[in-house]
Structure 1
Amino acid sequence: MVAQLAQGIDAFALPIHFDRDRLASDARQLDTLARRPQPGPYHAGEWAGVAIHASGGVQTPNPGFPSLVSYAFTAEADSAPYLKEILESLRFVLQVVRVLWLPVGGKIRSHVDFDTNFQFGLVRLHIPMQTNPDVEFLIGGRRVTMNVGELWYGDFSKPHEVMNRGNQNRLHAVVDVEINDALLAMMPAEYIDMQSQFGPVSMHRPRYAKQDDLATFECRFHIPGSILPLLRHGKLADMIKGASAMLRREGGALCLYVDGGRHCRLIRVDESEFTIVGMPSGCFFRIERAAGVAHRVVLIVRGVQEDLVAARVGVMRGERIAQREIDLGPLMAG
């Protein structure tokens, strides 16, 4: 089955339905858990949640960032057994999954999620678990009605906002997934064609078989402050100066060090290309070698604005760039 564009091109329900009563049971159990306010300056702290699936299976209020460890279910997922069952049944590549509460009277002001687009390789899905008819959810200026038991796709790279004007808390599972064939098979072909007009669609890439020459990629380079907010948590004002970086083989993996500390692992997906653990496939390294020595590092970034400082706080400045190739040299062997 394929989704229909019933509510317009900014959001639509995928052709899957879930048991409303079992979702309600999960919602009651989740309601007993401690919740963390979500990041962003576009709400007053009332928008809060709990991670069900996260880097290393550890609680975080944040969407995906580069990591040393892969995504896994958190202990809190056991409080939502049906939701966990749903997530395990989907043939998608899961990144962060959060269950988010917006209380009665709560508001999330207009903002964009710059990294949720087909070029970056990440989309955000919603599974409503508890809601009411007086929730006003606008995506791209159009009101979208999501019902309990449905699975929704939304283009959250467009301005969106929520106001809970009802008398019941709004509770959604927000599911970040990498783009793969299983996801695209559920989407209308005309919508995929429309999204591909913005640039190459970044699909999840499997691990490359050859791994015995990782030491030849070891090197040092500099990450400019203009791109650092994409790769690192922290105060944006502190990242303007950029950071020193180093690639080092550790066992069967290539590890990225930033300012002397272990930051994340890379996954080799081609002879010279590496995706980043914790990130979708639209952000990756290309490392060129000569005579068995790395001599150039390029970071390829698809589908994000040039001003990443503004983008990290939900503000879109400038057009989305289909693909940027950022030369991180000069460099030295590691």
Structure 2
Amino acid sequence: MNYIKFAIFYDVKKLCADLDEVLKEEWPAHFNTKDFNGDWRSISLRSASGNSHDIYAHSGETYKNTPALNRMPYAKKIIDSWHCDKESIRLLSLAPGSIIKPHRDPGCAYSDGSFRIHIPVLTNQGVYFTIEEEQLHLKAGECWYIDFSNTHSIVNEGNTSRVHLIIDGIRNEWTDKLFAEHGYQLTEKDLPASYDAATNARIIEELEKMNTETARDLIAKLKAGK
């Protein structure tokens, strides 16, 4: 599955009010200069060093909230509503006329054990993602998972900047349930060796709603304790 548009919507006015607080400081240019043309900038709400200007996203680091997040109470509420461990959390701004070239981000597939969430704060009709040749337009306040381990690119052909809140999360039982509810097909290799009884029952309940052969096979294995 290349992407999920979650049935989750956030308050754009509150997100923009939060954004106004951090637009007052300098945002570093993105470090992957070979991957874009134009102006692509970021500021961290959670980073390995705890510094707002540390915009690197490295798997396996211990991450800390930054001073920028302390000025964004609504964004913090959103982040806390995701009941999983988080790594890097950033705001990324793509200026008008800028292009992020086709590339891959290894390790960003849900099946790898981590995932990346995009929540548009500011956008326009000229902003779109291309993921494996399919174009997507993400609207402000929506919430998306995109498998960035696949080839993707982004363009901003509009007249205003595009700013997204981007959360890198670590997969767990809670996220498995959420992804399954939105059609993500968990395979046998995706499941951990065992769940506790309550979690096992919840997963079976969600799989039963899918009513597919794969889901039925997984239910049988879960009930058998395999």
TM-score by length of 1: 0.53
Give runs of aligned pairs for residues 54-133 of structure 1, distance below 5 A.
Answer: 54-59=47-52, 60-67=54-61, 70-133=62-125
Give the structure 2 partner of residue 201 of structure 1: 190
Normalized per residue, the structure richer in strand is 1
The root-mean-square deviation of aligned C-alpha atoms, in Å, is 1.9
Whole-angstrom distance in 1 between the partners of 2:139 and 2:95? 17
**Structure 2, unaligned stretches of length 5 or more?**
193-226
* Cα 1:30/1:79, change in 2 over 3 Å: same
CA-to-aligned-CA distance 1:177-230 (integer Å, 9 cap, x gap): 01111112122365233xx47xx3387xxxxxxxxxxxxxxxxxxxxxxxxxxx
- Using the TM superposition, give the Cα deviation of residue 131 of structure 1 relative to its aligned residue in structure 2, in angstroms: 0.4
Whole-angstrom distance in 2 between the partners of 1:64 and 1:86? 22
CA-to-aligned-CA distance 1:19-71 (integer Å, 9 cap, x gap): 1110111222222221112232211461110010112422422112444xx32
Give the structure 2 partner of residue 51 of structure 1: 44
Q: What is the SS of the residue equivalent to 1:187?
A: helix
Among residues 169, 172, 176, which one is paired with 2:164 in the alignment? 172
Identity %: 25
Contact kept? 2:5, 2:143, Cα under 8 Å: yes
Q: What is the SS of the residue equivalent to 2:184?
A: helix
Whole-angstrom distance in 2 between the partners of 1:78 and 1:102? 23
Give the structure 1 partner of residue 184 of structure 2: 191
**Structure 1, unaligned stretches of length 5 or more?**
1-8, 204-334
Whole-angstrom distance in 1 between the partners of 2:24 and 2:133? 34
What is the aligned residue count? 189
Q: Which structure has the greater CA radius of gyration?
A: 1
Give runs of aligned pairs for residues 149-298 of structure 1, distance below 5 A.
Answer: 149-188=141-180, 190-193=183-186, 196=187, 200-201=189-190
